Amino acid sequence: MQAANKTFIAVWISLISNLFLTGVKILVGVLFNSQVLIADGIHNAGDVVATFAALTSTRISKKPADEDHPYGHGKAEVLASAVVAIILAAAAVLMIVKSVEAFLVPAAEASFIALIAAAVSLVWKQALYVYCIRIGRTENSKSLTATAYDHLADVYASVAACAGIGIALLGDYYNIPLTKYGDPVAGLIVSYFVLKLAYKMGQESVDILMEKNISQAQIEQIRSIVSGIEHVKRIDRIRARELGNYIIVDVRVSIPSDMTVQQGHDVSKEIRNTVKREVDYVEEVMVHINPWYQDHLA
């Protein structure tokens, strides 16, 4: 199965799952007055929008380079990841508001049905997270990885919902007043984790959009490869940036000044092919040749 097909299937499964879970959580939350389940359902509604953005961006990012986009369309996935981060942050704020509101009214009686709904969501979302993160990392898909982290945020939400509703049920059974507010307390805990996750995703998206250099370990790997190429006397500069699911590298090297243009071209070609072959996800290597003179220090 081709990589693109795997990614599309994973996104479609996520979209259908989010639609189903949104309906179930909101319906059960309203029927049994569970604030954390309603908030989680609204969060899932945001997930539907985020997953649709991931689906659209995945299609766009796979388009080949054209006259208007000579570097390809890879950043479409980064934009989708940024959208997911914004939706997660908005969902977290809404969950905080709903949880605080629940403290201002008499505690509702906890429901075992609500606990079952939260438990089903927990298992389902954990399976989706494992499935999507595996494919997202294998194919270096930013949008699918963002979708996976969105599933992980739902896992946090469902864990807290299960704990909150479970504590509230125990409070009802043993007539312990404070434990009846376990549901909204869980909502606040969930909000913290979701906000933290949204910040991490948003920061990564901004770094890529601002063309931050790739990791130092990757730069050193490229430096080691280039310095091992025959006739390369000095590495003057190495830069590299991510464009969604691939990397573009800029290398400036010095070679002996008495080499011909053809020989310089051959060195450039070897650098390009070797880096693309040995470094994951490198799509293009742009090489600039400088003259190196014997009396210069290498």
pLDDT band at 3 (very low <50, low <70, confident <90, very high): low
Does this model's pTM top 0.75? My answer is no
Q: What is the mean pLDDT of the chain?
A: 81
Among 48-52, 106-110, 120-124, name the one with the lowest average pLDDT. Answer: 106-110
The per-residue pLDDT for range 149-160, each reduced to its tens digit, is: 888 878 887 888
Residues 209 and 245 sit within 8 Å (Cβ to Cβ): no
Mean pLDDT of 165-192: 78
Between 292 and 212, whose confidence is greater? Answer: 292
Dist CA 34 CA 272 (whole Å):
58
156 CA to centre of own chain:
16
Residue 169 structure tokens? 């049920």
Comparing CA positions, the residue from 182, 173, 196, 192 lying closest to residue 35 is 182
Burial class (CB in 10 A: 0-12, 13-18, 19+), 215: exposed
The per-residue pLDDT for range 13-42, each reduced to its tens digit, is: 988 998 899 899 889 888 887 767 777 777
Q: Report helix angle 35-61 to 3-31, nearest 10.
A: 160
- Residues 6 or more apart whose Cβ sits within 8 Å of residue 154: 21, 40, 43, 44, 47, 121, 125
Query: Does the pLDDT value for residue 1 go beyond 50?
Result: no
The per-residue pLDDT for range 64-121, each reduced to its tens digit, is: 767 776 666 666 667 777 777 887 788 788 878 877 887 777 766 778 888 898 899 9
- Which residue in this structure is represented by tokens 């699911």? 245
Query: Does the pLDDT value for residue 129 go beyond 90?
Result: yes
Domains of the chain, first to last: 3-209 (1.20.1510.10), 216-292 (3.30.70.1350)
